[in-house]
Chain A
Amino acid sequence: MSTPAKNSQSPTPGQTIGPFFGYALPYEGDADLVPPGSPGSIRLHGWVYDGAGNPIPDALIEIWQTDAEGNVPQAEGSLHRDGWTFTGWGRAATDLNGHYTFSTVLPGASEKGKAPSAAPSFGVTVFARGLLDKLHTRIYLPEHAANAGDPLLVSLSEDERATLVATADATGLRFDIHLQGDRETTFLTYR
């Protein structure tokens, strides 16, 4: 399925997003994969914390996900949302309280998964001032039956697993990100 990673070319190194992306990367509708409050929509939100437990007001979170039926979206239009097209990708900067919010739908399980037993999840990248390169992680759905057989989740300790599963709240899902500390989020590298 995936190309054998020969990687004859050396990768270009990452660098921090820095403090001044706020006028460049966020845009109107960036975090609204579906219109807030539309049928089937959920709020996916949370807080981003540093190792002292302080919220991070200059982080940027991006999500990439299947649609509710588990299809991989390949429609353009993320930068100019028409309110009807599901592009599967969104971007949310944290506010002064370190809080981010997306309006989206629950991802469906992909039938064609590389790992057939994989549970549905949101793909996540995290950027922040002070963070020298991107971080990858996933957000899994709470109490989803497929979680018990998900290859990544079963490979983790109970504490690590807990950092990757969202909690349900009145409007959808809450997922906090801890860059460091006792509740440090489990971050991923792909093989």
Chain B
Amino acid sequence: MTAPTKKPPVETQADLSAEIAKIEADSEGRNVRQPLLDYPPYRSSILRHPTKDPRHADPETIELWSPCFGHSDVDPLEADLTIAGSNEPIGERITVSGRVLDGEGRPVRNQLVEIWQSNSAGRYIHKHEQHPAPLDPNFTGVGRCLTDDEGRYRFQTIKPGPYPWGNHINAWRPAHIHFSLFGRAFTQRLITQMYFPSDPLFALDPIYQSITSQQARDALVATYDHDLSTPGYSMGYSWDIVLTGPSRTWTEPEEGDL
């Protein structure tokens, strides 16, 4: 079997949507919160998913802790993606904010959040991304911040655009922002994608649909939050993130808090 991404796709969206619908029907009633790693409609997953179930392990001490990031690691200006160039980036200016929580609803404090995204035309600054949409010299699409004592993060950016990809004929990704998160323990490490409300591409997208529970998929969609909108300046979206997995005993205040 050769790598499926190296051949031009022959399947249409209708073919893909039929595959998506069948898997969703087959998994109905099973409350699977995480994406299926074996999800053939996402063609690149075919040779890149483990075939064996993961082994259950008791976490080692080191796995119950997370790496520590601090003010020497992240400049507060890195949370504003609109100031990279000498001019304003093109697009709809947005604020994205929310809280990072553990499985019991407690804030994940002083922890690193990294994001990356396309520009408003759906183009990433990446040499392998060559579709004919413009780059924006005033937008790199990369940001970082540390959560505060309430677990809150906040980014100033522009709304990313949908973009085409090679999974099948006429494949388009819904607009999204990639998020990389660290929890209170290494077991809680997460990389995911935040989407925008009511995107018409949701039903067509095999990456989003690899999560077969609608309720779980909804957890990746931000909410328009008018209280986060800044008059005359930007639109607000709020999105909370829950990181589960075993961790150390909770202490208040947490060790290492400044």
Contacts and interface: CB of A to CB of B under 8 A. Distances in A.
Contacts of A151: 58
Interface stretch (B99-107, B196-204, B229-237): B99-107
Contacts of B61: 66, 72, 110, 112-114, 118
Interface in B137-194: 140-142, 144, 178, 180, 186-187, 189-193
Contact of A10 (B65, B219, B248): B219
B48 A73 contact: no
Identify the interface centre among A19, A127, A130, A188: most chain B CB within 10 Å of its CB. Answer: A130
Contact of A6 (B42, B104, B187, B191): B104
Nearest to B63: A123
Contacts of A72: 61-62, 65
Contact of B44 (A22, A89, A130): A130
Contacts of B51: 51, 180, 184
A127 B64 CA distance: 20
A2 B244 contact: no
Interface residues of A, number: 81
The B interface, classified by DSSP as helix, strand, loop or mixed, is: loop
B220 interface: yes
Contact of B34 (A13, A23, A88, A136): A13
Interface stretch (A38-46, A75-83, A168-176): A75-83
Contact of A20 (B35, B115, B116): B116
Given A15-B220, A16-B207, A152-B57, A9 B142 contact: no
Nearest to B44: A130
Contacts of A160: 55
Contacts of A34: none
Contacts of A51: 1, 46-48, 51
Interface in B44-103: 44-52, 54-74, 101-103
Contacts of A128: 48
Contacts of A80: 72-73
A145 interface: no
B216 A77 contact: no
A23 B35 contact: no
A135 B1 CA distance: 24
